[in-house]
């Protein structure tokens, strides 16, 4: 097997079709198809099936994705180790919401600006198990998630802490200051999806406080939740990092008592990171502990 | 006791005769007379005295009026409570949506739905791709789905709802290929080689529609970052990483955040649709669909035809930013 077959396979996945991948790789489409067919024969399974706009992965193709990316990273490291040229590198990160945007967006934007030769992909997985699985099978080299991650077989780098705050419609906000959880008794809330760290923390703290609330809409897309609060549907919890953005959309934000804190950080497998990943980790630590942290 | 007899009894008290009471109740006169006699037998008292065609309540009959009304009121309450549970006040309404359609038109539909049916919470699912959306609908975890067309054929009912225009959002700095006129559409050709913050491979559409438009104009964009976090795109654009394609809801946010926001020339339109199983929709889902059609400018009576009829609306452009 030639590494090119693997990189072509990854290109078809990334571009969602043979035509687009061939154009991006600047090769003829028939040679790309031929190469992927050879890989499929080698693997003994079809890797793609046709879809309305291009192709999608089969189950076998999905299973190959993680190991294939890991193989390309290790190959680059091997080339690097012997002083060869490894070409442009890529880093795959998977984050849950809202970490993919806060601090993900600012983190990735500043990193990409400083490392124009590194291609960054920021994937999303909202359940801890799913996120850890993508890191463990090599699909993503780094995971940006709330800590502690329940899977103990992954290494952890702590970056910061999010505090949950309540966002209210402007005409329905309590006076400034911490809102006691008890004050939420009997109210309606817009909640994050079940299985998210924020939902679990809010539910357990409300239970501890003996407070019952009603979730009237469940939506993890934060900007949808903000729109719904603005429309007067109910209040919602947001992380403190989004406070400025939430206020900019016209809402009032209040901290709660007791404070609801969620530490977050990066997770990765216990094995040497690629140069790109090492650079990203260093960048994230500098970002988290440097002066830029306040602007997150 | 057949509680309907109490209703008949009250009608006869009100009308003072069987004939007009029967026509008000839309029952045959003999059945009404039978029912009253049966009620009298059941209670062991005479309820009316008969003077020709006129029936006057006896003392026992007068004493029964208020309790009978209360019983019938209780029956209404009981029926309503059951109906709430069976229909519009129990469980969840589960909706799967593409993130762009979540902002518009789903938010407006949920807000209206909540106003009318506060008893039914709505759960919004964000599948990673069309396959997951189809799975959520096919196995019944979600009852309704919102997706751009085309939707993979999986035996689901697909009702086209309308069309959204795709906008381009560019960093607020001078080096972007911005046209001189701020309101002029951006020629797609001007985007050649421009850096872009790209969404990740997942939903084939509207990615496929945008890719086809770029190919048509022989334009290659340079993706610098790919992300599956919809909300991370705008901050990255504003940070200067590159441009992005989006719908009008996000374009509005982008304009507020100081980004350059333009329509495209030629314009790029994406049709979107409501997707659900062929099975009959729950009353909650039917109510939601009515509201959703209202929001996108459709006609509500089209839904009443039921799941069998495909609803086809002419393309319509959704809201300007």
Percent of chain B with pLDDT over 70: 85
> What's the pLDDT tens digit per position in B14-27?
999 999 999 988 89
Residue B191 confidence class, pLDDT cut points 50, 70, 90: very high
Per-residue model confidence (pLDDT) at position B300: 40
Chain B CB within 8 Å of residue A292 CB: no
Per-residue model confidence (pLDDT) at position B181: 57
Q: How many domains does chain A have?
A: 2
Q: Which helix (H) or strand (E) holds B183?
A: none
Per-residue model confidence (pLDDT) at position B57: 93
Q: Is the predicted pLDDT of residue B273 greater than 50, yes or no?
A: yes
| Distances from the Cα of A202 to the Cα of A158, A191, A211, A251, B311, angstroms | 22, 9, 11, 20, 41
Chain B CB within 8 Å of residue A65 CB: no
CA distance A83 to A77: 10
Q: Is the predicted pLDDT of residue B266 greater than 50, yes or no?
A: yes
CA distance A10 to A65: 7
Cβ pairs bridging A and B (under 8 Å) = 165
Distance from CA of A246 to the nearest CA of B (A): 12
What are the residue boundaries of the structural domains of chain B, listed by start?
Answer: 4-84, 93-163+276-305, 167-267
- Is 2.40.50.140 the CATH classification of the domain at B4-84? no
Residue A123 and residue B107: Cβ atoms within 8 Å?
no
Chain B CB within 8 Å of residue A151 CB: no
Per-residue model confidence (pLDDT) at position A267: 96
What fold characterizes domain B93-163+276-305?
D-Maltodextrin-Binding Protein; domain 2 (3.40.190)
Residue B2 confidence class, pLDDT cut points 50, 70, 90: confident
Q: How much is the average pLDDT of B295-321?
A: 43
CA distance A37 to A17: 14
Does any domain span residue A270?
Answer: no
Residue A52 and residue B209: Cβ atoms within 8 Å?
no
Domain boundary, last residue among A52, A83, A114: A83
Q: Judged by CB atoms within 8 Å, which residues 22-81 of B form the interface with A?
A: none
Residue A52 and residue B208: Cβ atoms within 8 Å?
yes
Per-residue model confidence (pLDDT) at position A271: 81
Q: Which of A14, A223, A227 sits opposite B201 (nearest CB)?
A: A14
Q: Which residues contact A59 (CB under 8 A, 6 or more apart)?
A: none
Q: How much is the average pLDDT of B228-252?
A: 91
Per-residue model confidence (pLDDT) at position B276: 93
What predicted TM-score, i.e. pTM, was given to this entire model? 0.72
Per-residue model confidence (pLDDT) at position B189: 94
> What's the pLDDT tens digit per position in B115-139?
988 888 899 999 988 888 998 898 8
In CATH, what number does B167-267 get? 3.40.190.10
**By C-alpha distance, which of A148, A117, A168, A107 is closest to A293?**
A107
Chain B CB within 8 Å of residue A85 CB: no
Distance from CA of A228 to the nearest CA of B (A): 6
Worst-scoring range by mean pLDDT, B170-184, B190-204, B265-279? B170-184
Per-residue model confidence (pLDDT) at position A129: 86
As a three-state string, the secondary structure of B20-47 is HHHHHHCCCHHHHHHHHHHHHHHHCCCC
CA distance B230 to B64: 66
More confident residue, A112 or B321: A112
Residue A193 and residue B205: Cβ atoms within 8 Å?
no
- Structural domain boundaries enclosing A189: 162-261
Count of C-beta atoms within a 10 Å radius of residue B24? 13
**By C-alpha distance, which of B165, B134, B146 is closest to B105?**
B146
Residue B81 confidence class, pLDDT cut points 50, 70, 90: low
Q: Which residues contact B63 (CB under 8 A, 6 or more apart)?
A: none
Q: Across chain B, what does the average pLDDT equal?
A: 83
Does any domain span residue A114?
Answer: no
Does any domain span residue A150?
Answer: no
Q: Which of A53, A104, A220 sits opposite B205 (nearest CB)?
A: A53
ipTM for the whole complex: 0.75
CA distance A217 to B149: 26
Q: Which helix (H) or strand (E) holds A104?
A: helix A104-114
Chain A CB within 8 Å of residue B192 CB: no
Domain boundary, last residue among A36, A53, A83: A83
Distance of CA A238 to the CA centre of its chain: 17
Per-residue model confidence (pLDDT) at position B305: 33
Residue B303 confidence class, pLDDT cut points 50, 70, 90: very low
Q: Judged by CB atoms within 8 Å, which residues 108-127 of A form the interface with B?
A: 108-110, 112-113, 116, 119-124, 126
> What parts of chain A have a pLDDT lower than 50?
292-296
Per-residue model confidence (pLDDT) at position A25: 87
Per-residue model confidence (pLDDT) at position A278: 93
Per-residue model confidence (pLDDT) at position B79: 65
Per-residue model confidence (pLDDT) at position B84: 57
Residue A122 and residue B227: Cβ atoms within 8 Å?
yes
Helices in chain B by DSSP H: which ranges? 4-15, 18-25, 29-43, 59-86, 99-101, 107-116, 130-138, 207-216, 230-238, 248-256, 283-295
Residue B92 confidence class, pLDDT cut points 50, 70, 90: confident
B205 → chain A, closest CA residue: A53
Q: Which helix (H) or strand (E) holds A54?
A: strand A54-57
Q: What is the CATH number of the domain that holds A14?
A: 1.10.10.10
Distance of CA B227 to the CA centre of its chain: 29
B237 → chain A, closest CA residue: A109
Domain boundary, last residue among A66, A83, A100: A83
Per-residue model confidence (pLDDT) at position B310: 35
Q: How much is the average pLDDT of B247-255?
A: 89
Count of C-beta atoms within a 10 Å radius of residue B183? 8
Per-residue model confidence (pLDDT) at position A75: 72
Q: Which helix (H) or strand (E) holds A76?
A: helix A59-81
Residue A109 and residue B231: Cβ atoms within 8 Å?
no
B4-84 matches B93-163+276-305 in fold: no
Per-residue model confidence (pLDDT) at position B182: 64
């Amino acid at each position: 097997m030639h590494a090119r077959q693997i990189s072509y396979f990854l290109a078809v996945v990334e571009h969602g079709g043979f035509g687009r991948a061939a154009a991006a790789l600047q090769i003829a489409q028939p040679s790309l198809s031929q190469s992927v067919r050879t890989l499929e024969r080698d693997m003994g399974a079809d890797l793609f099936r046709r879809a309305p706009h291009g192709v999608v992965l089969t189950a076998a193709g999905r299973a190959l994705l993680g190991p294939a990316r890991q193989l390309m990273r290790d190959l680059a490291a091997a080339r690097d180790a012997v002083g060869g040229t490894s070409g442009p590198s890529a880093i795959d990160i998977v984050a849950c919401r809202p970490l993919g945007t806060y601090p993900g967006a600012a983190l990735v934007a500043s990193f990409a600006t400083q490392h124009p030769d590194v291609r960054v992909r920021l994937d999303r997985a909202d359940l801890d198990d799913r996120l850890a699985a993508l890191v463990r099978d090599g699909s993503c080299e780094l995971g940006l998630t709330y800590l502690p991650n329940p899977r103990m077989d992954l290494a952890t780098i702590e970056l910061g802490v999010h505090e949950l705050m309540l966002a209210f419609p402007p005409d329905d906000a309590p006076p400034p200051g911490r809102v006691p959880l008890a004050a939420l008794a009997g109210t309606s809330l817009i909640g994050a999806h079940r299985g998210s760290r924020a939902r679990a923390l809010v539910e357990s703290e409300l239970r501890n406080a003996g407070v019952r609330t009603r979730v009237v809409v469940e939506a993890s897309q934060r900007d949808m939740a903000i729109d719904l609060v603005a429309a007067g549907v109910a209040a919602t919890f947001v992380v403190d990092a989004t406070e400025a953005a939430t206020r900019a959309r016209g809402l009032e934000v209040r901290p709660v008592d007791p404070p609801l804190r969620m530490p977050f950080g990066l997770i990765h497998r216990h094995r040497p990171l690629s140069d790109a990943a090492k650079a990203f980790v260093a960048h994230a630590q500098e970002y988290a502990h440097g002066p830029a942290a306040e602007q997150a | 006791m057949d509680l309907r007899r109490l209703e008949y009894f009250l009608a006869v008290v009100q009308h003072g005769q069987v004939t007009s009471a029967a026509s008000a109740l839309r029952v045959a006169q003999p059945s009404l007379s039978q029912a009253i006699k049966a009620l009298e037998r059941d209670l062991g008292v005479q309820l009316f005295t008969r003077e020709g065609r006129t029936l006057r309540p006896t003392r026992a009959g007068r004493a029964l009026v208020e309790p009978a009304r209360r019983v019938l009121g209780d029956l209404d309450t009981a029926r309503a409570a059951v109906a709430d549970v069976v229909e519009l006040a129990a469980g969840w309404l589960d909706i799967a949506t593409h993130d762009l359609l979540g902002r518009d038109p789903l938010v407006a539909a949920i807000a209206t739905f909540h106003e009318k049916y506060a008893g039914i919470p709505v759960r919004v699912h964000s599948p990673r791709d069309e396959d997951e959306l189809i799975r959520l609908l096919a196995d019944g975890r979600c009852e309704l789905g919102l997706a751009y067309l085309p939707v993979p054929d999986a035996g689901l009912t697909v009702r086209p709802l309308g069309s959204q225009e795709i906008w381009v959002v560019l960093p607020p700095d001078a080096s972007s290929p911005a046209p001189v006129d701020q309101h002029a559409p951006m020629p797609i050709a001007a985007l050649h080689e421009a850096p872009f913050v790209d969404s990740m491979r997942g939903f084939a559409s509207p990615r496929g529609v945008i890719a086809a438009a770029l190919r048509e104009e022989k334009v290659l964009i340079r993706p610098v970052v790919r992300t599956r976090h919809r909300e991370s795109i705008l901050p990255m654009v504003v940070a200067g990483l590159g441009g992005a394609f989006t719908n009008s809801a996000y374009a509005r946010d982008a304009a507020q955040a100081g980004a350059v926001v333009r329509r495209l020339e030629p314009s790029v339109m994406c049709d979107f649709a409501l997707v659900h199983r062929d099975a009959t929709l729950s009353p909650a889902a039917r109510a939601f669909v009515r509201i959703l059609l209202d929001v996108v400018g459709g006609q509500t009576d089209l839904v009443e035809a039921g799941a069998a009829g495909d609803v086809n609306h002419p393309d319509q452009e959704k809201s300007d930013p």
